Structure 1
Amino acid sequence: MKEFAAEENFTVLIPENFYSLVAERHIKTPKLPRRTTKLEIEEKVSDLPETESLYYKDQYMAEFDAKVLRVLEGKTVVLDKTAFYPEGGGQPSDKGYLQFRGQKCRVLNVQKVGKVILHEIEGPPPMEGETVHGIIDWDRRLSLMRHHTATHLLLGAARRVLGEHVWQAGAQKGTERSRLDISHYRRLSLREIHQIEKLANMAVMMNMPVKAFWMAREEAERRFGFRLYQGGVVPGRVIRVVKSGDWDVEACGGTHCKSTGEVGFIKIVHTERVQDGVERIIFSAGLPAIKAVQEEELKIHEISNVLNVPFDRVDKAVGNLVSEWRALRQERDRLLDTLSSFVADRLSEEAIKIGEIKVIIQNMKETPIDQLIKVANTLVSREPKAIVALFHEGRNARFVVTVGDEVIKRGLTADEIAREAAAPLGGGGSGRPNFAQGGGVNTDKIPEAIKRTVAFLKAKLEKVRR
């Protein structure tokens, strides 16, 4: 286009992120909300040259020497070059130390602002102009590299299991656990999870080379397509591409293992639905993956000890235990029904009559509320002209109200009675015309609530009779 415009005597300015804008128009992928922040110190380092990124020249560089260009407020250091990876692309920053003049300070966080990389430190700061020796926390870096490469392998596995519609909707790497969010129209089944996990580990065992290289954006898009931008569209006309054998290829700025075999074991810990159309895969890689499996084994062994059965028979023992529990629960429900029937018989004998209506109001002390509901329902099922209000006296006052169909026809409902009964208790009541519940904090006011309810019913029913 630029050459064509020149032939026609036009000047065309092509923005630096032109191809990013084109890609964004073609890519339709669900994205999770992202929050961006802007460091206030950006202006203070805008005059400095671009920091040389040693972590791209050698991802396995654990130590390096560099010159201090600037120290801000004794807490932030800018070097001319660094092997500390700055936070970005869902990968946390490196940590480690800077050594100088027999002293050292701890590197807590690393951020890239524009073209400059900032090292947040703790301890005595170095002086501007002096040389420091940087030491990366290598165990941390290696774990992050394994988890980052594992993210690519899992994404490739998910696409092979679920289909080509799968797209990365987000990712966050960690040293112990990482997450990969993918677009998918339904919850992942256990079978699909196992297939994805198996394929990802097969990719590990294939020990494919993981190569990172820079390419012109146009060439990369022609060769690999827009699926390059799994982690979002990256700016610039030259982009960094990470290719894991023939398994996966992405535009990526993170640090990676040299081969898939270095990732080690990958374990999917669990999955969850984070929003409509997005599934989250929580996983561990390397030693943390082994730890995750061992933790699961430990839980099973603990269950084995509690049940006093061999490890390989835990599933059958749990199944038997659940069956026994269900049988006992059914027997309990049967006994509660029998007991409720007996209690209903006794309460029916103590009922008061207001015209044709049988009124049963009692303080049942500490009788569980679920049993009160059974008793109340039993009474009104026997007598359609009954009103039942049963109170529970526990930490708080509670009650249930049921009324028969004939009572409702006379214009008196359970929810109306519940509101009246709840007033002295310092609470409230609500429900349906035939059933309501309520309560309050004033357990000592239950006798008053009973008297108030009886008086209310007498007045209401007398009015109906007239």
Structure 2
Amino acid sequence: MTRMLFRDDPYMRDAQAHVVAHTAEGGVVLEATVFYPTGGGQPGDSGWLEWGSSRLPIATAVKGEGRQIVLVPSEPVALPPVGAHLMQHLDWDRRHKHMRVHTALHLLSVAVPFAVTGGAISATYGRLDFNMPDAPDDREALEQALNDFVEQDARVSDGWISEAELVAAPQLVRTMAVKPPRGAGDIRLVRIGEESDWIDLQPCSGTHVARTGEIGALRLGKIEKKGGMNRRIYLHLDS
């Protein structure tokens, strides 16, 4: 199991760790990492590792066997040896944009009250697919609602719920395409707003900003028809 430092502190950019394994494909497994692995529509983090006078660029991170996280090099160079102590560094600008976009998509899932059937995140925009027959009637009103959420500067926090509690509250699962994992213990919930007055509350394993004001201005992009009952809505960071 790789300790997920990004789960404890999504703002952690650098951390020491030691190498516990190499994969057959040439990946590196650390005992603890700040690199978020690809999942839930959010890309894996990039960055680099440093040990001694050596440096290894990391293209992405993915989930490995069990609960391991594998760091995938971007160049075919020598890997840090198993047991080596090193420093890991995130491409923070890219990660932070993923955090802003991911949190913004949670707001979009509130502003568009239909079930989510899929989604994807990049460093400049994100998109959600909704199980809805028609496009939103008023683009300007939708964009304004999203920016109103941002201007509220609502707190973003997380907590945990048991599988039994989630089964008893199915309305918390907004995403039809990706269900929370079963059999892995408690499930992480991300809340936007305060416990007694929240904007959004749903299972999510991704990284998020601490407050909605950190997202910055949002711009609504294309709205595409992707089937008889599916609409894809794009959302862009303004900067």
Superposition TM-score, scaled by structure 1 size: 0.47
Distance in 2 of aligned mates of 1:211 and 1:218: 22
Matches for 1:270-419 after TM superposition, within 5 Å: 270-285=222-237, 289-290=238-239
Task: State whether structure 2 residue 70 is matched by structure 1 residue 118.
Answer: yes
Q: Deviations over 1:3-54 (max 9, x none)?
A: xxxxxxxxxxxxxxxxxxxxxxxxxxxxxxxxxxxxxxxxxxxxxxx11111
Q: For 2:171, which of 220, 227, 250 is the aligned residue? A: 227
Match for residue 78 of structure 1? 29
Which gives a bigger RCO, structure 1 or 2 (Cα 8 Å, sep 6+)? 2
260-269 or 84-93, which moves further after superposition?
Answer: 260-269
Question: Which structure 1 segments of 5+ residues have no match?
Answer: 1-49, 160-165, 291-466
Distance in 2 of aligned mates of 1:156 and 1:83: 29
Distance in 1 of aligned mates of 2:166 and 2:152: 25
> Which has the larger helix fraction?
1
Match for residue 62 of structure 1? 13
Distance in 1 of aligned mates of 2:171 and 2:204: 12
- For residue 247 of structure 1, report the CA deviation from its aligned partner: 1.1
- For residue 71 of structure 1, report the CA deviation from its aligned partner: 2.0
Match for residue 262 of structure 1? 214
Q: For 2:50, which of 96, 99, 103 is the aligned residue? A: 99
Number of residue pairs matched? 228
Match for residue 197 of structure 1? 143
Distance in 2 of aligned mates of 1:95 and 1:136: 6
Match for residue 409 of structure 1? none
C-alpha spacing 1:221/1:194, structure 2 compared with 1 (3 Å): farther
Distance in 2 of aligned mates of 1:217 and 1:76: 32
Match for residue 12 of structure 1? none
Q: Deviations over 1:94-123 (max 9, x none)?
A: 000000011110011211123111111123
Distance in 1 of aligned mates of 2:24 and 2:85: 19
CA-atom RMSD in angstroms: 1.5
Distance in 1 of aligned mates of 2:89 and 2:125: 24
Task: State whether structure 2 residue 104 is matched by structure 1 residue 153.
Answer: no
- For residue 184 of structure 1, report the CA deviation from its aligned partner: 1.0
- For residue 88 of structure 1, report the CA deviation from its aligned partner: 0.1
Q: Deviations over 1:415-452 (max 9, x none)?
A: xxxxxxxxxxxxxxxxxxxxxxxxxxxxxxxxxxxxxx
What SS class does the counterpart of residue 128 from structure 1 fall into? coil
Distance in 2 of aligned mates of 1:279 and 1:227: 21
What SS class does the counterpart of residue 58 from structure 2 fall into? strand
Q: Deviations over 1:257-284 (max 9, x none)?
A: 0111111111111111111111111111
- For residue 253 of structure 1, report the CA deviation from its aligned partner: 0.5
> Which has the larger strand fraction?
2
Q: For 2:118, which of 146, 165, 170 is the aligned residue? A: 170
Q: State the one-letter code of the partner of 1:91.
A: Q
Contact 1:52 1:82 in 2 (8 A): yes
Q: State the one-letter code of the partner of 2:31.
A: D
Superposition TM-score, scaled by structure 2 size: 0.91
Q: Deviations over 1:375-402 (max 9, x none)?
A: xxxxxxxxxxxxxxxxxxxxxxxxxxxx
Q: Deviations over 1:80-102 (max 9, x none)?
A: 11010000000000000000011
Task: State whether structure 2 residue 136 is matched by structure 1 residue 182.
Answer: no
Max Rg structure: 1
- For residue 182 of structure 1, report the CA deviation from its aligned partner: 1.0
Q: For 1:247, which of 186, 199, 202 is the aligned residue? A: 199
Q: State the one-letter code of the partner of 2:11.
A: Y
Q: For 2:163, which of 193, 213, 217 is the aligned residue? A: 217
- For residue 177 of structure 1, report the CA deviation from its aligned partner: 2.0
Q: For 1:207, which of 127, 145, 153 is the aligned residue? A: 153
Q: State the one-letter code of the partner of 2:215.
A: V
- For residue 169 of structure 1, report the CA deviation from its aligned partner: 1.0
Question: Which structure 2 segments of 5+ residues have no match?
Answer: none
Contact 1:74 1:125 in 2 (8 A): no
Distance in 2 of aligned mates of 1:214 and 1:112: 21
Q: State the one-letter code of the partner of 1:64.
A: A
Distance in 1 of aligned mates of 2:172 and 2:228: 24
Q: State the one-letter code of the partner of 2:23.
A: L
- For residue 72 of structure 1, report the CA deviation from its aligned partner: 3.2
- For residue 234 of structure 1, report the CA deviation from its aligned partner: 1.0
What SS class does the counterpart of residue 112 from structure 2 fall into? helix
Distance in 1 of aligned mates of 2:104 and 2:200: 11
- For residue 220 of structure 1, report the CA deviation from its aligned partner: 4.3
Matches for 1:127-138 after TM superposition, within 5 Å: 127-138=81-92
Q: State the one-letter code of the partner of 1:258.
A: A
Contact 1:154 1:197 in 2 (8 A): no
Distance in 2 of aligned mates of 1:182 and 1:74: 36
- For residue 205 of structure 1, report the CA deviation from its aligned partner: 0.5
Distance in 2 of aligned mates of 1:144 and 1:177: 9
